[in-house]
Amino acid sequence: MRASIARAVAALVFTALLGLLTTSASTLAQTAASAPVAAVPRVRLVATGGTISNRTGGRLSAEELVKSMPGIERYAQPEFEQFSNLASSELTLDQWVALAKRLNEIFKTEPDIAGLVVTSGTDTLEELAYFLDLTVRSDKAVVVVGSMRNPSTLGYEGAANLLEGFRVAASADARGKGALVVLNDEINAAREVTKTDALRLNTFQSRGYGILGVVDADRVAFYRTTLKRHTANSEFDIASVTKLPRVDVILVYQGADGDLIKAAADAGAKGIVIAGAGAGATSGTQQAGIDYATKKGVFVVTTTRAGSGRIAAGRGGRGRGGANGPPPEDIRRRIAGEDLAPVKARVLLMLALTRTTDPAEIQRMFTEY
């Protein structure tokens, strides 16, 4: 009798416990189902073309590029739009202006966009990236990506670069760091990076400065930031710009003739960037060409062809004067290019000339940007 009672009590206890456990499991499942899922950031691709799209038989569209990224939904809500589909060398300066205006419009009208990714051909990627660094007036990420191999080539790295670009654009840590260039698992500042090899995958490097960070399997890791003015802190408002002024780049080489500088001035150049030897030296009759250009009101910026190094005020003839030198007003049109590469000095001078023709103001811009 006692055994029967004990078994009955045990059965009742078991049934009660089972009901309690079932109810708890059901409650937990309902709570999990009703809990909001953390949304990943919205990131939009604005595709311009380049090798990353240049498939044999026809270029990949922005939509096809987005679909080529496995696992993108873990990091971002991907969106896309096709701005153009050209080789980078075929993009015009007018298209640069239109692109910057479009990116500014997206940030202004869609405040919940976390960042933008722009595809570009690698040949002139560093120039476009720096232009966007100066003209996109938002602290949200603008990431420029490309690839060295085309989609029809064994070892095509475009999808990997694009995925990493989306990851960087979605990262809160990328905010406020200016336009970024992401290729080969590395993050570089648009102002500092340059293409250093015609073919190798590790071509984009920031000589003397180093990378800003890396994109690894676990996370996007930043190590430093750039101190120069850019993006949200830029004074260059592209909204009212319809045409960029002509600025030419002329290389210094042994025995170079100054007639090329004179020809650029006569052809309507508003500015000329001299890619000087060493710390800004000219050769042949180039100094006479510079004197001719500055007398015509052309601004001449001295940079170095060496690949790195800073040009300080007074180099490249800027300090000449006196009885045998050009008059002071001409000297003032000679601008020290600081540490900018010649092609990037051209970008900054074009934008500077949309705002001012005051030599002191232009020199200030080269110091601050």
Residues 273, 276: Cα–Cα separation, whole Å: 9
**DSSP output for 123-139:** SSHHHHHHHHHHH---S
Contacts of 107 (CB under 8 A, 6+ apart): 113, 116, 136, 138, 140
Helical H runs in 155-255? 158-170
51 assigned to active site: yes
The burial of 149, by beta-carbon neighbours within 10 Å (0-12 exposed, 13-18 middle, 19 or more buried), is given as: middle
Helical H runs in the chain? 2-34, 62-67, 93-109, 125-135, 158-170, 259-266, 286-295, 328-331, 342-353, 359-368
Token digits of residue 144: 């420029």
Going 210 to 189 to 181 to 114, the CA torsion angle's sign is positive
Residues 154, 223: Cα–Cα separation, whole Å: 33
> CA angle at residue 316 from 234 to 124, to 5 degrees?
50
Q: Which of 23, 27, 31, 51 is catalytic?
A: 51
Looking at the DSSP bridge assignments, the partners of residue 86 are 49
Token digits of residue 110: 């869609």
How many other C-beta atoms are found inside a 10 Å radius of the C-beta of residue 42?
A: 16
What is the 8-class DSSP label of residue 281? B
Radius of gyration for the chain, computed over Cα atoms and rounded to the nearest angstrom: 28
Catalytic center residues? 51
